[in-house]
Chain A
Amino acid sequence: MKKTKQISLVLITAALASCHRSNNQDWVNANGEHRKVYIRSDSTAPYTQMFHPFGALLWYYAFRPYGHYDYFGYRRVGYYSSAISQHSNIGTNAAKSGIIRGGFGSGFSVSS
């Protein structure tokens, strides 16, 4: 036999089953006009105006927890989203400024 006898998956079905649909209701009003959405990830940072991610998937816009471990354990610094500029992610928050992000990922998809 050449085929796998049994397959079990522990992660992927739950992780992916719900994340492939985007919904633009939050971005467009009843008249089909784009809402003005301004986002920042840190209260010390200026806002960036956002536009509906046409063709993109919503998790791209997710804010992810951001922090670090030190002697006292985990410290939450704040949140971070690569959908917005570095400017609106960091502001004057010194705890965020030692680490830069966004230096990889200019490509779209590697599909081959």
Chain B
Amino acid sequence: MKRLPLTPRNNWQKQVEKLGFGFHTTNVPYWDESACYEFSMDEILLIERASAELWDLCLGAVQYVMDNNLYHYFAIPETFIPYIERTWQEDHPAIYGRYDFCYKDGVPKLLEFNADTPTSLYEAGIIQWYWLQDFDKSKDQFNSVHEKLIDYWKYLHAYLYPGNLHFTCVKASLEDLTNTEYLRDCAIQAGLTTKLVFIDDIGWDTNAQVFVDMEDTPIKNIFKLYPWEWMVTEEFGVNILADKNKTFWIEPAWKMLLSNKAILPILWQLYPDCPWLLPAYFEPGRLTDYAKKPILSREGANIELVRGATTLHSTPGAYGAEGYIYQQLATLPDFDGNHPVLRSWIIGQEPAGMGIRESTTLVTDNLSRFIPHFIS
């Protein structure tokens, strides 16, 4: 893995905006092509292998949580447990997830699994692919996001209820809308009939006891870029349990277990010999060098990195009320003050590509930049 400084393309902003990528810059650059990362094929094959193996381990961990009734670690409302188990036993459709890896000394180590609402899919699948066409189209890239999404939507078609597949996200975020519309784009190309409805426009028909869209059409299949941990606590959350249509929510509710950092100590307990896992515990005091993470947090909030008696870095935020886990410290590699996290995609249960977020601190947060990559 090498970091190469680059001269950005002339008018790169126009290039990416033509692709519908409107959030390339906020107060600071987000899409950053002033550098890129180069990987050997052997490195990529190892990241791919780790991603595939971790997927199997994660499914085993979900079953273990259910078999041993470990929900109390996850701060999940008890009323949702039967529903979560039903979505697992009935194998409700799921399409994707994203591992965040610390990649050092040639070994990827799992920092967390964004199994419910991963974002940066469009950047990973489309923007960096087009970047590579301009940079050097003869080069390869760990990126089959687009074709795997289309293929898996085609595969899922037979498992969905007849009719529309709705897509939903919040209105106020262009980033969320872009990710959602990209997934919808791939579903359309897979032959599905789709509709967009914003999450706060979703209606609840109090007579029929079903969810409806803005035309009062019942919702039976819906992809949601909106986290389960929010849904279950919001006013309509209980309606999911009462829903007469038994709607397929994608990602399904069992993903609540994998997207929760409480899965990390469970994975470590089950698979202590796995080379891709870091030791992790629910109890403090088991590790001297560790990352303290809230079981539910987003964008690097409320993380504390500790080495011995020294706090290396801590981030503010509003999370932590549900509890913490302690994971062995794995400081990100340092490329002249830039700290990359590898974000490896699983689509349709297979590794599908990678994006890289780079930060000037040891915790990747909402100011981190997306850096493209290629395979030498």
Contacts and interface: CB of A to CB of B under 8 A. Distances in A.
Indicate, yes or no, whether A interacts with B: yes
Interface of A: 1-5, 7-17, 19-20, 56-57, 59-60, 64-69, 74, 80, 82, 98-112
B360 interface: no
Contacts of B23: 20
A66 B23 CA distance: 30
Given A66-B214, A104-B236, A105-B200, A10 B176 contact: no
B118 A105 contact: no
A108 B173 contact: yes
Contact of A19 (B143, B174, B226): B174
25 contacts: A2-B143, A3-B144, A7-B129, A11-B185, A11-B188, A12-B182, A16-B178, A16-B181, A66-B216, A69-B215, A82-B201, A99-B203, A99-B205, A103-B204, A103-B239, A104-B202, A104-B234, A104-B235, A105-B200, A105-B202, A108-B172, A110-B169, A111-B176, A111-B299, A112-B298
B375 A2 contact: yes
Contacts of A3: 129, 132, 140-144
B140 A12 contact: no
B79 interface: no
Contact of B172 (A4, A15, A57, A80): A57
A9 B145 CA distance: 13
A103 B20 contact: no
Contacts of A99: 203-206, 212, 216
B236 A16 contact: no
9 A-B pairs with least C-beta separation: A105-B200, A103-B236, A20-B22, A68-B216, A109-B173, A16-B20, A103-B235, A13-B20, A11-B185
Question: Could you say which of A10, A15, A16, A66 has the most chain B C-beta atoms within 10 Å of its C-beta?
Answer: A16
Dominant secondary structure at the B interface: mixed
Given A7-B146, A98-B207, A112-B298, 7 more contacts: A1-B140, A82-B198, A82-B200, A101-B201, A104-B237, A105-B202, A111-B298
A104 B182 CA distance: 22
Nearest to B177: A16
A56 B173 CA distance: 8
Nearest to B240: A104
Contacts of A105: 170-171, 198-200, 202, 226, 234
Nearest to B100: A112
Interface in B134-162: 140-147
Given A3-B132, A100-B204, A103-B234, A65 B214 contact: yes
B114 interface: yes
B299 to A, nearest CB: 6
Contact of B142 (A2, A67, A101): A2
